[in-house]
Structures are given as structure tokens and as C-alpha cells.
Structure 1
């Protein structure tokens, strides 16, 4: 009996020992789990980016629907460089100086009726909590007046989830911009002139004629545009494009280098690259003097790409189809003018390998960085151009350029 009890005790002890794991077994299990996590994390990150990219595309579709509804209501598209004007030195907080972007008029069509009511009526509210006296006028102050509440409002529909940009020194950001065609000539003024604070409407033989030759996109500064103007077909013409907003890191897609001569950039679209302003070691960034290249004059810190959704300035809400996506942002003019000068400004994004565009029929497509952009060493089409830059020429910038022109008679037969 005693021997039988001892046998039972030994069997129970052996069984209790078999229920545990050895140190080697634990280490093997931990290693397997680590390998699986390492394999799954990139897939999870890719899935998250795919979801963000889809959300961005959906935002763009909502913007396209708003544009079509606006056109149905008013028989025209919202004006780029619209708003109110009065001759003379009117204070900027009492006049928006006709510098509003096309996005302002779209607010009631993007489920932002409350915001539109603030804009379209006199408004005393200030960002600092004070009371404006006299009140800000109907249609708001100039889009750079930082105390005007609506211009500092972030609109969710205008933001791409993949873009981490937030907060000052920006006001209200936008990741979606208007297409102004494949030429920078007159893109900031269109068919008008402002001389010494006085609005001048030139005769067709002067500035208006030059604007007609160079302003070839769906949107033209200071001019009402309609779908009937898009003779190449709504499905063949880009209406809007995605832009990445600035993160304060000298990224050459999101902060502009400003050169003194607009004509040089018009005649040599990759002028800033050829002038050595891009870092040779980090091609997505401007040279900073430490790794070669020439340090450029950059726009001010509060003039980053997409920083003011309500402003029609080049870097804020415009792009052209000259350089392929995610290339440098190069403006021409007096650096003292800031971003209110024309220049080469393409689409960009924080997605991998390209950016979204909105076609005029409301379709959204993803354009890769490798899209056919023709010969970027040929000057823009304009009234004084010759050869491939002569008035009425097909876009020198391949498929990308032809997508940006509304009435150049080019047939888009390639996939993009």
C-alpha cells in the first residue's frame, strides 16, 4: 500500500512538471510573436494609409459635387480672385481686395451654411475674443487679416487625413486647390489691372488679350468661368488638385522659393532646380548651405502652401500643370510681394508616389509622379511666345499639361 502511494505521488509530481514551459520554449514563442508583429505592422500601416487616401478621395468628390451644385445654381463656377473692391487705400479689415479663393463661395454647398452666414453678413467677432469696431464687412476682410474668425476656421472637407499639418502659423488650411492651366503668364491677375490702388479694366488689345492667350485653365483670375468654356470636355480637363500643406521643414513642395524675375520662370519652368536652389543631397528640400547648392529666398513662415483656404494667392489655393506632381514650388516676382506673384506650383501630397486630381466632370483620379510631363525646358505658352510657346500651341508639357488646358483642342488618349 505504501509503495502504491509513493508511485501515485511520483506520477502527480511528474504531471505537475509537464504542465509548465521551459525557458527555451518561452523564448521561441516570443521570437515567433515578434516576427509576426514585424510582418504585420507594415501591412497595418499600409491599410491605414489606404483608408486615409480613400477618405481624401471622398473629400474631393464632395468638393466636386459642391462645384457642380454651385454651377447649377448660378450657371458659373465660383470665381478665383473674387470678392469686393473699392478704389483707394481702403483698410484691409474693411475690404477683401478681390483676393478670395473659389472655396469661399462653395461653403454653403459643403454643408458649411453657418460659416457662410458669418462671411456674408457684417461680423464683429475676433479671434482674440474681442469685438471688432466697426464690424468686419459683408464678404469679410482681406484673407490675410488674422483676426477675422471665418478665415481661421478649419473646414474638415478641405483637409486630407494624410496631411499632419495643423495650427499656427497657418490660418485655416486647405489641401485642395484650383487649376489655372499650363502657363504662369497673368495667372495672378487675369484680364484686369490694379494701378496705384485703382481697378483698371483694360481694352482687349492689351492686358485682356494677353490673359486670354496665357490663362488656359478651368479657373482664370478675376473672371467668371462656366462649364461651356471647357471645350476639351469635362472628363478630359482638370478642375482641382491636391496640395500638401507646409510643416515648417524647408520642403520645396510646400514653401516657395521666390525669384526676382517672373519671365525667367515662365521661359524655364524648372528654373529653381537649374539655379541650384534644391539640395543636392535631399531633393525634396531647399538647399540650406550645409550640403551644397544655393540658399534661396523663401516665402515667410506664415505663407506656406495651403495655409489660407480663403486666399487666392498662388501657394494657398492654386496650381498649374507644368512640372509633374511633387516638384518644387518656384515663384517669380519681387520677394516683398510675398506669395501674391505667379510661379510654377504643381500638385503634391503626403500620399506615396503622387496626388489626387478632380476632373471637371466630378471624377477623382490619382496622378503619379511619373506622369508624362513633356519637355519642362520649353517655356510656357503666352502672347509673346515663339515656337512651342506660341499662342494657341498644344501644351508643351505632355499629358499633364494637356489635362490642365480647357480649350487647346488636345485629345487625351492615354491612361493617367
Structure 2
């Protein structure tokens, strides 16, 4: 081999600058093509994990029912009979526990349940209370209480992996809420929660409640599977909700307003829509006639898994999933906050819809485009005067009622 041929052979072992640029360009194109697929695969995994969480909750509810022959209660617990204000008592939970508390022993969370069901002296900041003044069995009030360890403990089964919400002002977040049916202005929770008065003995309240509380869960009364006359497979029991990220999202922050007459929220589910940002309809815009309680954690969606304030632990099958949430209460109106004068729908961080847990334990994915009837049709709140009326909210509303003789077409799923 000549010297010239040897040199040429040795030079061929290196890449030229053009070849390197071509290879880099090809790698860039491949990354650009594959990255969305990787992200989609990750979201698919998170969505499956969320569905599995729902299945665990469904098993917990069914095991609870097998044990007690009834569903876990919504707005149940203890009440010390203290007078106003109820938010500061440490001696009871003021009938404000969510069904997620009752099923803890049935989803392998026995340790937290033992802490709740027995008196304790441990605080979340590491300090301790006096042994003569311990936290009561079943815990103190949920609202605004960040010292009681169980209430600030995050239960992974109650969180959707696709939801990034963490930290203050919320604590003990949840992405799963009880179905309260298609009626949000009627008496779900309107009871004297700060006294020993038992509204379950009030016959007028009972009449209205039977007509207006149409979901699988409602305040102060534990339903059972036998109450679900439409069939467990046809009735939503739990739904997904997003938690607040502090970004004024219409799904996680409730616009609060107080409008009387035909424009009131209970007569018009769309009455808060004027407060949306015209350029970014996913967010609230100018709240000229609305009051946004920026500092109130109780008005942030999914802020406390142990609470059954409707904004934290309930949802209505009125507006389609991922619509805005709204509350009909004036600034400083504790009564409006704690009662059911709010319209809260299901929501999620998944693309295009939400998971729901049916009464039979099946997990379905409901799209945002589900048929939801006419949301602007006058007075649609079921009361004692029109109990048993067909849901005006189409398939979505029919899925939320437990005993309204509406059998939805499940082929739409």
C-alpha cells in the first residue's frame, strides 16, 4: 500500500461536519416525534392509576355497605352543640365529615382511621396537646384546622396522579367527590350544624329533602343500595374533581355572587358565566359582580378530603364536566358557604373528560360533550312542589339521580 492510499484510508474514519449536522438534525426530528408519544404514554399511565384509585374507593364503599348495610354518610360525625362561630370549635367536627372518612378501614388505611376514631394529643407541627384536653374521637372541625394530624395527611388513594396540586392553602387534598345529584339549590345540608337541633326530626325539611336530594349521597342521612331504584349500574356514585392551583381556574375557584329573583343561581345554572374571561374562558375574568374569596380555603375545590362542604367533597350532575363552578352567597355569608347553594360539577386534568364511579363499582370515562340538557331553562331546582320531575339536564342529569325512574342509555359511554 502506498503512503497516499494509507493516508486516504485513515481520513475516512472521521465524520465530516456536514455528516454530523445531518445526524444531529435526524436525532432532533426523532425526539420531536417521540416526545409527544412519551408524554401521552405517561398520561395514559396516570389515567390508569386514577382509574385504579377509583376502583379501590368503589371496593371500600361496597365493603362498608356489606358491613353496615348502608353507605358511608355525607356530612355526618359529631356535634358539641356550641354556638356561633362553628369554624373554631375543637370539640367536635360539627357534622362535617365526608364519606371518604368512613371507608378508610376498607381501603387499607387502618392507621389513619385509628388516629381519627380515638382521642389523641399529637399536633401536626410535632407539639402535643395536654392529656386533659386531647383531640376528640372523630376529630375536631375540619375547616381551617391544620394542627390535627389526620386532616392534613394526604391519602394517595384519594389523589389523581395527573393533578399537580400540592401544599397550602389546601391540605389533605382529594380528587374524588360524592355525587349529590342534579339538584344544587335544594336543602342539601341546610341544617343547624352549630347546635344540637336535629333537622331529621323536622317534617318540612324531610319532605323537601326527599324531593330535592336526588343523588347517591346527601347531608345527614345515610342511604343504602336499596334506595337506588334506577339501578346501581345506571347511577353515578363518585366523580373526579380538580384541586386548586391558585390560578383562578373556573373549575377550582368558585365565583361567589348573590343575585335574587329569576337570575339567582338556583334558577339559572349559567348565571355565573358572565364572570368568565372572554379571551381565556378557562379562567375567571373581571369579577365586578362576583366576590372571589381568595383567602378562603373552603372555597377551593378538593382542598380537604375529610370535609363535606360541597366545594370540597361533592359534585352535581348539572353543567357538563369541566364547566365553571359557582356559589350563591354573599361575602362573609357562612351559611351560604356551608349549605348547598352552589353548583359544582365534575372536573379533571385528563384530556376531554372525567372518571366517574358507578354504583356497581364500575369506572367510566365521561366526556365533556356528554348530553346535559338545557341548563338555562328557568326554575329547574326540584322541590317538594315538583318532586319526581324528569331531570332537565339530559343524560348527565339522569346519571346523577338514584330513584327518578330514568334509565340512561349506557351505550353513550
Task: Give a deviation string over 1:316-358, Cα, whole Å, max 9, x none.
Answer: 0100000000001101123322732321100001111111000
Deviation at 1:230, TM superposition (A): 0.2
Bigger Cα displacement from structure 2, 118-127 vs 374-383: 374-383
Aligned residues: 398
Deviation at 1:81, TM superposition (A): 0.1
Bigger Cα displacement from structure 2, 31-40 vs 86-95: 86-95
Q: 2:109 is matched with which residue: 112, 115, 136? A: 112
- Mapped to 1, the partners of 2:360 and 2:80 lie a distance apart of 36
Task: Give a deviation string over 1:107-131, Cα, whole Å, max 9, x none.
Answer: 1111110100000000111112221
Aligned partners of 2:177 and 2:239 also within 8 Å:
yes
- Mapped to 2, the partners of 1:26 and 1:317 lie a distance apart of 57
**Cα distance, 1:146–1:186 mapped onto 2, change above 3 Å:** farther
Q: 2:319 is matched with which residue: 323, 328, 332? A: 323
- Mapped to 1, the partners of 2:12 and 2:268 lie a distance apart of 78
Gaps of 5+ in 1: 1-6
Q: 2:97 is matched with which residue: 94, 97, 100? A: 100
> Which secondary structure state, in structure 1, belongs to the residue aligned with residue 27 of structure 2?
helix
State whether structure 2 residue 23 is matched by structure 1 residue 29. yes
- Mapped to 1, the partners of 2:282 and 2:193 lie a distance apart of 38
Describe how 1:47-58 pairs up with structure 2 within 5 A.
47-58=41-52
**Cα distance, 1:8–1:195 mapped onto 2, change above 3 Å:** closer
- Mapped to 2, the partners of 1:196 and 1:157 lie a distance apart of 31
> Which secondary structure state, in structure 2, belongs to the residue aligned with residue 357 of structure 1?
strand
Aligned partners of 1:381 and 1:393 also within 8 Å:
no
State whether structure 2 residue 409 is matched by structure 1 residue 409. no
Q: TM-score, normalised by structure 1?
A: 0.92
> Which secondary structure state, in structure 1, belongs to the residue aligned with residue 154 of structure 2?
coil
Q: TM-score, normalised by structure 2?
A: 0.92
Describe how 1:13-28 pairs up with structure 2 within 5 A.
13-28=7-22
Q: 2:329 is matched with which residue: 310, 318, 333? A: 333
Describe how 1:3-402 pairs up with structure 2 within 5 A.
8-89=2-83, 92-133=89-130, 134-144=133-143, 145-189=145-189, 193-194=191-192, 197-201=195-199, 205-261=203-259, 264-273=264-273, 276-287=274-285, 289=286, 294=288, 296-301=290-295, 302-303=297-298, 304-336=300-332, 337=334, 339-342=337-340, 343-378=342-377, 379-383=379-383, 390-402=386-398
Aligned partners of 2:155 and 2:172 also within 8 Å:
yes
Aligned partners of 2:125 and 2:147 also within 8 Å:
yes
- Mapped to 2, the partners of 1:341 and 1:250 lie a distance apart of 22
**Cα distance, 1:262–1:142 mapped onto 2, change above 3 Å:** farther
- Mapped to 1, the partners of 2:266 and 2:364 lie a distance apart of 28
Aligned CA RMSD, in angstroms, stands at: 1.8
> Which secondary structure state, in structure 2, belongs to the residue aligned with residue 118 of structure 1?
helix
**Cα distance, 1:393–1:78 mapped onto 2, change above 3 Å:** same
**Cα distance, 1:283–1:31 mapped onto 2, change above 3 Å:** same
Task: Give a deviation string over 1:345-396, Cα, whole Å, max 9, x none.
Answer: 00001111111000000000111100000001123332266xxxx3211100
Deviation at 1:309, TM superposition (A): 0.5
Deviation at 1:187, TM superposition (A): 4.8
Greater Rg, structure 1 or structure 2?
1
**Cα distance, 1:50–1:87 mapped onto 2, change above 3 Å:** same
Deviation at 1:186, TM superposition (A): 3.3
Deviation at 1:202, TM superposition (A): 5.9
**Cα distance, 1:202–1:228 mapped onto 2, change above 3 Å:** closer
**Cα distance, 1:78–1:48 mapped onto 2, change above 3 Å:** same
Aligned partners of 2:187 and 2:208 also within 8 Å:
no
> Which secondary structure state, in structure 2, belongs to the residue aligned with residue 125 of structure 1?
coil
Aligned partners of 2:79 and 2:196 also within 8 Å:
no
Deviation at 1:262, TM superposition (A): 7.8
Aligned partners of 2:321 and 2:345 also within 8 Å:
yes
- Mapped to 2, the partners of 1:300 and 1:132 lie a distance apart of 31
**Cα distance, 1:54–1:186 mapped onto 2, change above 3 Å:** same
